[in-house]
Structure 1
C-alpha cells in the first residue's frame, strides 16, 4: 500500500469518528434540553387568580360601587347576576389537572366589557391576564351562548293575533298611529374589510359594513332582526330576501284582519309596518310621501308616520350608546360580527324589559307640548342614511291605504291637538 492510499484511509476513518462524536454530542444536548420544564403559558398570566381585573377591581366595585359596576359592564349588578344564571351553564368549562378553567362570571365580564367599549382583544388580555387568543374565543363563544339562551324569551317574533294586536295597541296609545305592528329600518355596522371580499362589504357611505335590519315595537324592543347582509346591499333588497317579507307575503304571521277605523269607515286598514323611503310601499308596509310639493294633509301624514317610525331610530341609538362596540370599526370576520350583534340585541331587549327607565333615558323625548328633544345618543354618532327605494310604482291599493290614513290623521277622529302647531313651526 502506498503512502498516498494510507493517508486517504486514515482521513476517512477520522471523518467517521468526528461524525459519530458530533452525533453523540447533539443527542446529549437534546436530552438535556428535554429535561428543562416548559410552561404552556407565560408566567405573568399564571398569576391571574386574584390579580386580574375580575379577581380584584370588579369584585371591589361589585360590593362598594354599584354605579361603577354598571358603567363597566353596561349592566347593573342584579342584571349581571341574572344574565349569568341564564348563560352560565352554557359557557362553563371543566377544570383539569393542568389548569383551572376560566369561570363563567369572568367570561361574561370579558364579553360585556368588549361590547361596552369595543376594546381590542390585546387590551382585554392585559386587563384580565388572559391570552389574546383565549379572549377572542371567549367573546365569540359567550356571544353565541347569550343569543341561544336568551332569544326565546327576549327576542321572539310574535306568532299570535293577540300578540300583534297588543303591539298595535301600544303604537296607538303611545305614538297615535293605528294598526301598526312595528317600525323597520337598517343600520350599517362598521367592520374591517374581510379578506378577499373586494367591494362586497363596501357601502354607499364609503366604509365596510354588515347590515342589521330590525323590526322594533313601540317600546324600543327588537321583535325581528336580520343580521349579516353585506354592506353594499340596500335595505329594500335585504327586506325583499328576508324571512319577514316571506312571512308577510304568505300570511303566516297570524296578523289581525284588516280593521275599520272611526272616521274612515267602512273602509278598512290592514295591520302594517312603518318604514322610511328605503322601503317599497305596500298594504303591509307604509312609508312617507316623497318630500316634494306636499300639501298640509300629506305633511301631517309624514309627521305622524315619522313619529311612530322614530322608535327604530332610537332603538339603534340606544343600542350603540350602551354597547359602544357599534361606534367602532369591528375587526372580526363577518360571521363573528353577527354573533356580537345578536348577543347585544338580546341584552338590549333584556334591559328594556327589566330596567327600562334607566336604560332608555338617552332616547328622544317630547315635552308637554310634544316638542321633540333629541336624545343624547344622537351626539354619539350620526345615523347612517338610507338609500331611497327604486320601487316607483307601488300598487294602487297601497296608495289608497296611505290616502285613507292621511284622511284619518286630518279628521276630527284621528287628528292630535298639537299636529297643526308642529306643522306651523
Structure 2
C-alpha cells in the first residue's frame, strides 16, 4: 500500500512538471487563433480591393508585427511636429517592458515562466503589467491577448513569483555610501550654537508607515459575513478582508523595507524596532527613522508627541509630518500605478501577498527608471490602524526631547 502511494505521488509530480514545462494550446486558444487568422485574411483581401496602390511600408510592418495588445493601433493623422503625450507614454511603456524583461533574464532564477510556450517574455511582462495597472478581468485580457483565461491566470502568478524573487535586489536597506546618500536633514533650521556644543539635529534615513490593501475573503469567511446585517459588515469589517502593508520610504520615494501581513496581524513596527536594536549598524551615526503616532518611540524611530502639547512639541510634530508626507505620496503613486491594489479579488492570502510584493518591487523599478507617477495622497490609510499611543522607551524619549529643544532654540534665535 505504501509503495502504491509513492508511485501515485511520483506520477502526480511528473504530471505537474509536464504541465509547467509544456502546455499545448487548448481548444479555446485554437479557436481564437483560427478566428484571428480568418480576420487577418479578410482584412488583407478588403485592403487589396480598396487600395490599388501598395500600402505604405509602415503599414506592412504593422501587419507583420502585430501592435502591442495593450495599445491597439489607431488611425494615423497628419505627422505632428513633435511627440505627443500619448506617444511619449507608449515610448515609456516600451522602455519599462524592455527593462523588466532584462531584469527577469538577468536574474539567477531562470526557470521558465509558466503558461503557453509561444508567448514571448516581453508579451508576458506586458500582459502582467496590464493586469496590475488596470481594473480589468481575466476575460477581457484573454480577448485582448487571444489567450485562454486559465492560461493567463498561470502566466500572471508565475510572473509575480519571478518578480517577487527580485525583492532582495530591488527593496534593499541602504548601507555604507548608499545609506549616506539616502539621508536627508530632519529640518532646514541650522543651530550653530548647538553644533558648537557638539549637538546636532539627526538626519532622516526613511519614513515608517503602513497602508491597507483590501482583498476578497476566503469562501468560508465570506459565508459568515454574508449572514450579518449590512451595517455591521460595513462598520465592523472582518480583519482578514485586507492586508497590512508596512513600508519604510526614502526621500526619493523608494521603498527600503516592505512587510505584508494579514489584517489581524497588527505589528505596529515592533519587529522592525527589534531588528534595528539588534543590528545598530543598520542605522548610520546620527540618523533616525520618523513615523506617525502609534509606532514605538526609540532612539532609532522618532514619533510625534501625543496628548497636551505646547509650542515646542507642536513644532516638532510639524517637522515630522513634513517627512511623513513623502510616504503619503509614495503610497499614492503605488496605488495610482497599480490600480489592482484598490481591491485584490483574491481569496488566497499567499497569492494576494505575492501580488502586493510584486507591485512594491515594480514601484522601485519605475522610480529607478525615473518614471514616477503622481497619485492622490491617502494620509488616513498610512496612519497606523490602532489609534493608541505607541510604546516609548527612555532613550527614545530623551532623544525626542533633545531634538525638540534644538528645533525650538532655532526658532527663538531667529536662525534660518
TM-score by length of 2: 0.69
Report the alpha carbon displacement of residue 220 of structure 1 after superposing the two structures with TM.
0.8
Contact between 2:293 and 2:390, CA under 8 Å: does it hold in 1? no
Q: Is 1:249 the counterpart of 2:282 in the alignment? A: no
Alpha carbons of 1:377 and 1:350: their partners in 2 closer, same or farther (altered >3 Å)?
same
Report the Cα distance in structure 1 between the residues aligned to 2:376 and 2:114, rounded to whole angstroms.
Answer: 41
Change (3 A) 1:71 1:114: farther
CA distance 1:72–1:138, change in 2 (3 Å): farther
> Is the contact between residue 217 and residue 347 of structure 2 (CA under 8 Å) also seen in structure 1?
no
Residue 232 of structure 1 corresponds to 264
The answer as to 2:331 corresponding to 1:316 is yes
Looking at structure 2, the residues matched to 186 and 405 of structure 1 have their Cα atoms a distance apart, in angstroms, of 25
CA RMSD of aligned residues (A): 3.8
Q: Say whether the 8 Å CA contact 2:297–2:390 is kept in structure 1.
A: no
Deviations 1:179-227, CA, capped at 9 Å, x for gaps: 3221111111110002445899x99872610111111111110011011
User: Which consecutive unaligned segments of at least 5 residues does structure 1 have?
Assistant: 1-38, 260-270, 363-375, 419-425
Q: 2:385 corresponds to which residue?
A: 387
Q: What SS does the corresponding residue of 1:377 show, helix, strand or coil? A: coil
Matched, 1:46 2:33: yes
Counterpart of 2:355 (choices 318, 340, 344) is 340
Counterpart among 131, 146, 162 of residue 148 in structure 2: 131
Shift of 1:304: 0.1
- Does the alignment pair 1:120 with 2:118? no
CA distance in 2, matches of 1:230, 1:57: 37
1:278 and 2:294 equivalent? yes
TM-score by length of 1: 0.68
Once residues 299 and 235 of structure 2 are traced to their aligned partners in structure 1, the CA distance between those partners, rounded to angstroms, is 29
* Whole-angstrom distance in 2 between the partners of 1:195 and 1:214: 29
SS of the residue 1:193 aligns to: coil
| 1:217 alignment partner in structure 2 | 250
Aligned residue in 2 for 1:20: none
- Structure 2: runs of 5 or more not aligned: 1-24, 41-64, 77-82, 191-200, 226-232
State the distance in 2 between where 1:414 and 1:110 align: 58
Partner in structure 2 of residue 105 of structure 1: 122
SS in 2 for 1:412: helix
Aligned to 2:399: 401
Mapped partners of 2:32, 2:408: distance in 1: 68
C-alpha separation in 1, matches of 2:351 and 2:384: 25
**CA gap 1:393/1:278 in 2 versus in 1, 3 angstroms:** closer
CA 1:415–1:339 in structure 2 vs 1: closer, same or farther (change >3 Å)?
A: farther
1:203–1:232 Cα contact (<8 Å) kept: no
For the structure 1 residues 232 and 306, does the alpha-carbon distance in structure 2 shift closer, same or farther, using more than 3 Å as the test?
Answer: same
Offset at residue 107 of structure 1 (A): 1.1
Q: 1:25 maps to which residue?
A: none
Tell me by how many angstroms 1:111 deviates: 0.5
Distance 1:405 1:71 in 2: 45
Structure showing greater Rg: 1
3-state SS, counterpart of residue 385 of structure 2: coil
> Alpha carbons of 1:40 and 1:309: their partners in 2 closer, same or farther (altered >3 Å)?
closer
Number of the residue aligned with 1:191: 215
1-structure distance, mates of 2:242, 2:67? 37
- Report which stretch shifted further, 388-397 or 218-227: 388-397
Cross-structure match for 2:181? 166
Structure 1 partner of 2:173: 157
